[in-house]
Amino acid sequence: MGVPPGSQAAPLPSNLPFRLVSKTIGSGAYASIRKAVPKDKPKPVIAVKFINKEHAFRVGRLRPKQIELEISLHRQVSGHANIIRFLSHGDDQSWIWIAMELAEGGDLFDKIEADEGVGEDIAHFYFKQLVNAISWCHGKGVAHRDIKPENMLLTANGDLKLADFGLATNFLNLKTGDTKMCGLVCGSPPYIAPEIIQVGHANQKRKHGEDKFGYCPNISDIWSCAIVLFVLLVGNTPWDQPEPRKSEEFYHFCETQGRPEDELWEKIPSEALSLLRGMLKVDVLERFKLDDIRIHSWYTRPNKFMNSKGTVSDSVSLATNMIERLHIDFTTVPDSSQSQEPPKQVESQPAPALISTQPVTPAFDQPFDWEA
């Protein structure tokens, strides 16, 4: 097969308001990240996301409006301690670039030991910071719709920074108070709420002229936060996707009204389990809201890693505790199963197609050459 269009990348923009100081430090199906600094000084170091227009729009199946919305919503929620700060953006004929805060600690996903988690205190620490970030977003009328550990970055000190607003949406008009329902089936299957899949099925079956079905994206965000907490506590997701016909684990969860007899669930401390059951109510009317989470006894418990400002109190102790739980054999090459993988796709027939922030990588012999 041939080389993908645009694999011989056009030169990066020449009029950037900063100086690039690294080659690619991370890349996805349609974007790459490089480090940069101000033109006249060595600090601060920032991250710059480069999107090749031809590759993204023609091969990656993105629309220009999607990137415009990502930029707009990221700017809208920027300014919170637990959200990656948006700095600026620009473009030329071939590229779109987005400058943002650099999170030097990598993503949270890589710090979670499989089938073990990070321990209750660290799980509590990061869950509280995640709830703080989501509360801020929802207060700005923005739902994230792709909450998962891969999109939770860490600073050098270990504080959480929510990132990647490629699937975010406005659900609330702050002037009128009007809310908007969503019909787009999107996110990563293990983390999405069941109503998202249900809405997708219902819209596929609706007759011509009938109104579209929708879900409340802010309420769906609560479900995703609960799955993140579950993963932090036990090191695995409770199911591959929340659909009874396709997941035996989710079927039993529904049949037992949130009390499955499973070793993963048995590992969870009782107070945390109480919170999870409230957040994982399949009935959206019964599901915990942010206010319910913030007054729950497990959420309000003291945390030795967190100071009164909600940031890390002892970064060395936090890092030491996390490293101790990671079973790393430095004498062998890391197994590929421990690396980050793109989100799985929900089957398109009969299930609705799933939109994710990781577009399907084109099936070419060679990947896009970001360094060309």
Tens of pLDDT, residue by residue, the chain (372 residues): 334 444 456 889 989 999 999 999 888 777 899 999 999 999 999 999 999 998 888 876 788 999 999 999 999 999 999 999 999 999 999 999 999 999 999 999 999 999 999 999 999 999 999 999 999 999 999 999 999 999 999 999 999 999 999 999 999 999 999 999 999 999 999 999 999 999 999 999 888 778 889 999 999 999 999 999 999 999 999 999 999 999 999 999 999 999 999 999 999 999 999 999 999 999 999 999 999 999 999 999 999 999 999 999 999 999 999 999 887 654 554 443 323 334 433 333 334 444 444 333 333 333 445 454
Task: Measure the CA angle with vertex 25, ends 110 and 111; round to 5°.
Answer: 10
What distance, in Å, lies between the first and last C-alpha atoms of the chain? Answer: 20
pLDDT averaged over every residue in the chain: 87
Residue 65 CA to residue 212 CA, distance in Å, equals 22
| Segments in the chain forming alpha helices (H) | 53-54, 64-77, 120-139, 194-205, 217-234, 248-255, 263-266, 270-279, 290-294, 315-325
Per-residue model confidence (pLDDT) at position 358: 37
Residue-by-residue DSSP string for 52-80:
EHHIIIIIS---HHHHHHHHHHHHHHTTS
Per-residue model confidence (pLDDT) at position 58: 81
Annotated binding-site residue numbers: 49
Per-residue model confidence (pLDDT) at position 3: 40
Per-residue model confidence (pLDDT) at position 168: 97
Residue 272 CA to residue 259 CA, distance in Å, equals 13
Sequence-ordered list of residues with C-beta below 8 angstroms from that of 178, at least 6 positions apart, any chain: 172
Annotated binding-site residue numbers for ATP: 49
Per-residue model confidence (pLDDT) at position 328: 65
What are the tokens at 193? Answer: 């709420």
Per-residue model confidence (pLDDT) at position 206: 86
CB 357 within 8 A of CB 51: no
Of 152, 148, 149, whose CA–CA distance to 186 is shortest? 148
Tell me whether residue 146 is one of the annotated catalytic residues.
Answer: yes
Helices (H) and strands (E) in the chain, counts: 10, 10
Long-range contacts of 59-66 (CB under 8 A, 24+ apart): 59/4, 59/5, 59/6, 59/30, 59/362, 60/29, 60/30, 60/359, 60/362, 61/359, 61/360, 62/30, 62/359, 66/166
Q: Which residues of 102-122 are buried (b: 16+ CB within 10 A; e: fewer)?
A: bbebebbbebbbeeebbbbeb
CB 143 within 8 A of CB 168: yes
Per-residue model confidence (pLDDT) at position 6: 42
Domains and CATH numbers, the chain: 19-101 (3.30.200.20), 108-338 (1.10.510.10)
Long-range contacts of 13-18 (CB under 8 A, 24+ apart): 13/90, 13/91, 13/92, 13/95, 13/97, 15/92, 16/48, 16/90, 16/97, 17/88, 17/90, 18/46, 18/48, 18/99
Per-residue model confidence (pLDDT) at position 361: 32
| pTM, rounded to two decimals | 0.86
> Helix or strand or coil: residue 254?
helix
Catalytic residue among 146, 159, 164, 221: 146
Of 261, 292, 252, 262, whose CA–CA distance to 276 is shortest? 292
Task: Measure the CA angle with vertex 77, ends 92 and 200; round to 5°.
Answer: 85
